[in-house]
Amino acid sequence: MAGIHVEKVSESKKENRLTLRVKGANEAFVNTLRRLIIEEVPTLAVEDVEIKDNNSALYDEMFALRLGLCPIKTDLANYSLPKTHEEIQERSARCTLQIKLKASKKGYVFAEEAESADPKCTFVYPKMPLVKLLAKQKVDVTMIAVMGQGKDHTKWSPGWSFFRREAVLSIGKVKDAAHIAKQSTDGVLTLKSGKLEVDEEKATDSNLLEFYTELDPAITLTYTDNIIISVESWGQLSCKQMLVKSSEILTQKVEELEGLI
């Protein structure tokens, strides 16, 4: 698909979100990238849990489930998907990571208290509470995180992605500009010198564009051939890493297909 051009519309590192404008591509191509991001970009997640001690209020199974769903920072340069099940059983450093958690103090046990064998690969959110202990209660567990993909379990999914056609909101001569501006709760329409103005960056994320067209006939909504794709990360990888890795996976699949033809 020649002539594809990508522009950054907005980025929020605080919210781990990136929005891009894609020109020269169709929905099928962008949807392929979206599905690869969600289903095939690999990350680390806790798969096996050895519980040596746990007399907290959480049953062993519930505690292990919670640990499995806690996102882990993933270094794609040093970790990759296991080629065989034996690699996991043998605890290969290429695809597995050991994390230990031991606590006996009354109160919440936070993710930052877990000790990872790799300092670069720790739980994403340090202050995420894992369990709450009462006096004389304690937990002592050893976790084995394994590289995996979201298509096998959602705990391996690095984030979320969605897309839509680029919408263009046009403002003509409206009857009550001040009233319409007050209705714009997402900040897309603002009043300046008595005239309505459109914040194009906010418009790309707005779900109220069709609502605005109902406020006055002079407000119209059209769609271009461009596609807006948004990527949100759970924190294991950056949005850029997710997009780059999904592109690499797509290229690999195309090359494999060419070899079969």
- What is residue 2's predicted lDDT score, i.e. its pLDDT? 58
**Residue 63 CB coordination number (10 Å):** 20
- Alpha carbon distance, N-terminus to C-terminus of the chain: 19
In three-state secondary structure terms, 123 is: strand
Strands (E), 149-217: 159-171, 189-192, 195-198
Domain over 5-39+159-232 is classified CATH 3.30.1360.10 = yes
Domains in the chain: boundaries: 5-39+159-232, 43-152
Cα 69 to chain centroid distance, Å, stands at 14
- What is residue 194's predicted lDDT score, i.e. its pLDDT? 84
- What is residue 187's predicted lDDT score, i.e. its pLDDT? 92
Q: Could you tell me which residues are beta bridge partners of residue 162? A: 230
Phi, psi of 12 (to 5 degrees): -130, 105
What does each of the 261 residues of the chain score in pLDDT, given as a tens digit? 458 999 999 999 899 999 999 999 999 999 999 999 999 999 999 999 999 999 999 999 999 999 999 999 999 999 999 999 999 999 999 999 999 999 999 999 999 999 999 999 999 999 999 999 999 999 999 999 999 999 999 999 999 999 999 999 999 999 999 999 999 999 999 999 888 999 988 898 899 999 999 999 999 999 999 999 999 999 999 999 999 999 999 999 999 988 988
Q: Which residue bears the tokens 């407000």?
A: 219
Are the C-beta atoms of residues 234 and 159 closer than 8 Å to each other? yes
- What is residue 3's predicted lDDT score, i.e. its pLDDT? 81
| Closest to 82 in 3D by CA, of 91, 71, 73 | 91
Strands (E), 67-218: 96-103, 107-110, 115-116, 129-133, 139-148, 159-171, 189-192, 195-198
Report how far residue 120's alpha carbon sits from residue 178's, in angstroms, rounded to the nearest whole number.
Answer: 52
Report how far residue 19's alpha carbon sits from residue 201's, in angstroms, rounded to the nearest whole number.
Answer: 10
Q: Could you tell me which residues are beta bridge partners of residue 132? A: 108
- What is residue 1's predicted lDDT score, i.e. its pLDDT? 47
**Residue 133 CB coordination number (10 Å):** 20
- What is residue 119's predicted lDDT score, i.e. its pLDDT? 96
Architecture of domain 43-152: Beta Complex (2.170)
Report how far residue 174's alpha carbon sits from residue 84's, in angstroms, rounded to the nearest whole number.
Answer: 65
- What is residue 230's predicted lDDT score, i.e. its pLDDT? 95
Q: What is the chain's alpha carbon radius of gyration, rounded to the nearest angstrom?
A: 24
